[in-house]
Structure 1
Amino acid sequence: MSLFERSLKWKGFPIQEAKDLLKTINTLNSKALEASILKQREFIINYHLEHNSFYKSFASKANAQDWSSIPILSKSDLQQPLTNRLSQGFTKKNCLINNTSGSSRQPLSFAKDPFCHALTWAVFMDRYLWYNIDLNTSKQARFYGIPLNTVSYYKERIKDVLSNRFRFSVFDMSDAKLKENVATFSRTNFEYLYGYSNALALFGKYLAQEKIVLKTVCPSLKACIATSETLFEEDRELLEKAFGVPVINEYGCAELGLIAFQNHNGTWKINSHDLYVEVLDENGAVLPYGAEGRLVITSLFNKAHPFIRYDLGDIGTLSKKSTIQYPILESLAGRTNDVLRLPSGKTAAGFTMYYVTKTVIDDTSNVKEFMIEQMTLDTFKVSYVSRTAFSDTEKTKVIKALNQYLEPGLTVSFERKEALERSKSGKVKQFISYVT
């Protein structure tokens, strides 16, 4: 067992048991797999109706054998202290506790029981092996954010060591910094890149500008996995030329894990091993394959916290070729972030704003929605929806975070609103720049 798998086991996540279950599921024929999915779907509903007081109250009229009776669960339904939402026998000490990124503008704390979290990682391992990437041994070049406060920063750095990855900054994407990145690739046997689509695109554009193909600099590279934001087709083409390796679209979220992953044919295969995915219309009716609507997902194995018919806020389409056993994601709308340009000439990925807004996210769920707009090079506006208005202390925390993650001397204004305007996808962009 590698250091990565050992670290999961040491932390109480039964990775071997999860891999064994996944192996068993992979051996099922089509009919048996459908029966297994439907049986587990019924089990997890009944489990939460019996062991979770929050869900029992929320879904008081639910009948596990009548799928249409199961209500749709939204993030706003979950915005109450986490302890109110945990199932019997689970506490913050015996399961994984995390927060969503807030990319849908509705930050949320949540929990996963140890087996569910281990199964999430087992699925990632299985999918990455499609491209001969072994999470136990393959070195990752990670283009991802990192908290800058001391405790969280070092926690992430420890995770990087255990997960065999090197983290590149997305807070500074200037040409000088990207040149340093190329030098790091030249002396490190990275096997794959992983990170925000926006940040990878900035790196790819720099490589194209400098007429560099990354695989010639780093021959060990096998693939690039883009996640967290929409990867546009033109960006994929640019990245494949700039990196010299296949670029894979990954779709997931913190609370559910891997939702869909592209195979060698470019098919976006939905993870039906531990998730059940539906597409609904605005009235909550299930749409036929091929129709666009709201993506609603059930976590089939999470006993600690209910995510049953959970509305992510994303809009998507399941292919007409889909079945319950082998669903295919045909299209996805959402998760695009702009590029930050600053008075000093510094450039950063728009997802940097996630770390700024994290300064006012806590388990009290005061902040419901938020958005940051860049009005001019040095002027930013923070719009938010909350139970109570930001105090001077909270405003100071946001301004301090902007100074820390971007640069000092920025002008920041705040506006509390009843609601934030949404796009067709049902989301409010976390960051919008009006700077050309």
Structure 2
Amino acid sequence: MEWFRLSLQLNNFPINRAEKLLRQIQDIPENKYQEYLDGRLDSIFKFHLENNPFYGRFCRTGNCEKWSDVPVMKKADLQQPLKNRLTKGFNNRKKTYVGKTSGSSGQPFIFAKDRFAHALTWAGFNNRYQWHGINLNKSLQARFYGIPLDFYGNFQERVKDRISLRRRFNIFDLSDKKMEHFLKRFEGSPFEYINGYTSAILMFAKFLRNKNVILKDICPSLKSCIVTSERLFENDKILMEHALGVPVINEYGASEVGLIAFESSQNEWILNSEDLYVEILDEENNILPAGQEGRVVVTSLYNKAHPIIRYDIGDTGIFSKEGNLKRPKLQKLIGRTNDLAHLADGKVVPGLTFYYVTKTIIADSGSIKEFIIIQKALDTFKIEYVSDREFTEEQVQKILAAIQKYVGKNLNVSFERKTLLIRSKSGKLKQFTSLI
């Protein structure tokens, strides 16, 4: 029984038609791909301009003679009631899929996709997973995610998990006792892949390392691990692959647009060019060539229910020079554009700088499980960490010296050991947060 396909069909998502279109798009020759993209961009832009009053008002600033004239949308532009943003004829729930972003960036909002566009998204996921021998219709997933705690939401997610061949590993409790329970669940279970938030799976991998256990020895059916939603550092990837005994694959996506990029078996991040059009723009909205860092901006080529046109996803990245129009590649995903630390002297530092500096120093200690950095004022930062024991004075001094060297001088940095770190409602762990 193909449970994944059946669950989509029962919910009126035309997955068969979506998979057929995906195959047709993938069969387009490279020398014809520009024509395909130009046609889709023109079609979806004109459709929303003519049928979506919200988008018509949004584009009122002038004529768009070429694609670069089309205005860039940000989350702030969409944070108004959904009914104000829906395309004519798509206010019926039978025609639309409605979802909500996690808000891990601090800017959650409700979005909509027409049912064909949503089916096309899932067809894309299944296609990419098959690169690594995973079939969403047949492969059992160990799902390292959060879960709603209210009765209805919890029940709904568990039903969806059962139908979609997913078994939930609730990441709101990552104690050693819970990790022992996780490990026992892998014994004798035919899991083919792990999917979930990077930080939670990393914690599990460290637990396995400390027990000197390789998970694939416990669960021989395991083929791969797919991490999403949070940054994966190269050293962490090496640790995870050793502890899990399978390849760790990077997935980059967003609820409102679907799959943006996926790592191939050759360790290349292949961008989704079938139902999305991805650009890298500078601060003045100029299109940047491959090799230059800028804002990731996405257009959904098939979503008729809601305009996602030149939408600033909130990330920064770099295109690879090795890609082409049909198979573009992401050289690097740098992080959230709003994860910046502003210092008293006017200096602006990427928040991940703190994470890199601190991580390189404390990674040698197996007792430190995870940590976050919080900026409380222009010159005040707090590091919260989960560890078997307090930082030693030597560790503290090394961290302070590194922060002074790589970030700035005259900063007040405090440390607090915690039994657990606060995650978002979805279970994500935000590595750097600015409260100013």
TM class by shorter chain equals 0.7 to 0.9
Partner of 1:68: 68
Partner of 2:18: 18
Q: Distance in 2 between matches of 1:195 and 1:180?
A: 17
Task: Please tell me the residue identity of whatever aligns with 2:195.
Answer: Y
For residue 92 of structure 1, report the CA deviation from its aligned partner: 5.1
Task: Please tell me the residue identity of whatever aligns with 1:329.
Answer: L
Aligned residues of 2:206 and 2:369 also touching (Cα < 8 A): no
Partner of 1:38: 38
DSSP 3-state at the match of 1:86 = coil
Quick one: structure 1 residues 78 and 30, their matched pair in 2 at CA, closer, same or farther if it must change by over 3 Å? Answer: same
1:302 and 2:314 are equivalent in the alignment: no
For residue 325 of structure 1, report the CA deviation from its aligned partner: 1.7
DSSP 3-state at the match of 2:318 = strand
Question: Where does structure 1 differ by over 4 angstroms across 4 or more consecutive aligned residues?
Answer: 61-65, 335-338, 347-351, 373-377, 429-434
Aligned residues of 2:369 and 2:385 also touching (Cα < 8 A): no
Aligned residues of 1:143 and 1:196 also touching (Cα < 8 A): yes
Quick one: structure 1 residues 376 and 315, their matched pair in 2 at CA, closer, same or farther if it must change by over 3 Å? Answer: closer
Partner of 1:223: 224
Aligned residues of 1:46 and 1:64 also touching (Cα < 8 A): no
Task: Please tell me the residue identity of whatever aligns with 1:119.
Answer: L
Task: Please tell me the residue identity of whatever aligns with 1:47.
Answer: F
Q: Distance in 2 between matches of 1:25 and 1:348?
A: 44
Task: Please tell me the residue identity of whatever aligns with 2:97.
Answer: L
**1:47-83 alpha-carbon deviations (Å, 9 max, x no partner):** 0000000000101246565112100000001111000
Quick one: structure 1 residues 310 and 52, their matched pair in 2 at CA, closer, same or farther if it must change by over 3 Å? Answer: same
1:81 and 2:81 are equivalent in the alignment: yes
Quick one: structure 1 residues 349 and 255, their matched pair in 2 at CA, closer, same or farther if it must change by over 3 Å? Answer: farther
1:175 and 2:176 are equivalent in the alignment: yes
1:237 and 2:238 are equivalent in the alignment: yes
Aligned residues of 2:97 and 2:114 also touching (Cα < 8 A): yes
Partner of 1:320: 321
Q: What does 1:252-271 correspond to in 2, within 5 Å?
A: 252-271=253-272
DSSP 3-state at the match of 2:314 = strand
DSSP 3-state at the match of 2:56 = helix
Gaps of at least 5 residues in structure 2 are 340-351, 356-367, 373-381, 387-419, 423-428
Partner of 1:121: 122
For residue 322 of structure 1, report the CA deviation from its aligned partner: 2.5
1:56 and 2:78 are equivalent in the alignment: no
Aligned residues of 1:173 and 1:349 also touching (Cα < 8 A): no
Partner of 1:104: 105
Quick one: structure 1 residues 62 and 152, their matched pair in 2 at CA, closer, same or farther if it must change by over 3 Å? Answer: farther
Gaps of at least 5 residues in structure 1 are 339-346, 352-372, 378-405, 411-428
DSSP 3-state at the match of 1:96 = strand
Aligned residues of 1:62 and 1:70 also touching (Cα < 8 A): no
Q: Distance in 1 between matches of 2:274 and 2:385?
A: 47
For residue 323 of structure 1, report the CA deviation from its aligned partner: 2.4
Q: Distance in 2 between matches of 1:63 and 1:31?
A: 30
Aligned residues of 1:15 and 1:122 also touching (Cα < 8 A): yes
For residue 348 of structure 1, report the CA deviation from its aligned partner: 9.9
Partner of 1:415: none
Q: Distance in 1 between matches of 2:384 and 2:370?
A: 17
Quick one: structure 1 residues 62 and 4, their matched pair in 2 at CA, closer, same or farther if it must change by over 3 Å? Answer: farther
For residue 26 of structure 1, report the CA deviation from its aligned partner: 1.3
CA RMSD of aligned residues (A): 2.6
Q: Distance in 1 between matches of 2:42 and 2:371?
A: 40
Aligned residues of 2:370 and 2:385 also touching (Cα < 8 A): no
Aligned residues of 2:78 and 2:109 also touching (Cα < 8 A): yes
For residue 169 of structure 1, report the CA deviation from its aligned partner: 1.3
Q: Distance in 2 between matches of 1:10 and 1:348?
A: 42
Q: What does 1:238-387 correspond to in 2, within 5 Å?
A: 238-334=239-335
Report how many aligned residue pairs link the two structures.
359
Aligned residues of 2:30 and 2:325 also touching (Cα < 8 A): no
Q: Distance in 2 between matches of 1:194 and 1:176?
A: 21
DSSP 3-state at the match of 1:302 = coil
Q: Distance in 1 between matches of 2:222 and 2:240?
A: 13
For residue 162 of structure 1, report the CA deviation from its aligned partner: 0.9
For residue 350 of structure 1, report the CA deviation from its aligned partner: 8.5
Q: Distance in 2 between matches of 1:433 and 1:273?
A: 34
Aligned residues of 1:204 and 1:239 also touching (Cα < 8 A): yes
Quick one: structure 1 residues 348 and 164, their matched pair in 2 at CA, closer, same or farther if it must change by over 3 Å? Answer: farther
Aligned residues of 2:104 and 2:430 also touching (Cα < 8 A): yes
Quick one: structure 1 residues 187 and 375, their matched pair in 2 at CA, closer, same or farther if it must change by over 3 Å? Answer: closer
DSSP 3-state at the match of 2:312 = strand
User: Which protein has greater RCO, CA pairs closer than 8 Å, 6+ apart?
Assistant: 1
Partner of 1:419: none
Q: Distance in 1 between matches of 2:271 and 2:77?
A: 25
Aligned residues of 2:290 and 2:320 also touching (Cα < 8 A): yes
DSSP 3-state at the match of 2:12 = coil
Report the TM-score, using the length of structure 1 for normalisation.
0.78
DSSP 3-state at the match of 2:237 = helix
Q: Which deviates further from its counterpart, 306-315 or 32-41?
A: 32-41
Quick one: structure 1 residues 253 and 350, their matched pair in 2 at CA, closer, same or farther if it must change by over 3 Å? Answer: farther
Quick one: structure 1 residues 273 and 171, their matched pair in 2 at CA, closer, same or farther if it must change by over 3 Å? Answer: same
Q: Which deviates further from its counterpart, 114-123 or 63-72?
A: 63-72
**1:189-229 alpha-carbon deviations (Å, 9 max, x no partner):** 00000000000100001111110000000000000000010
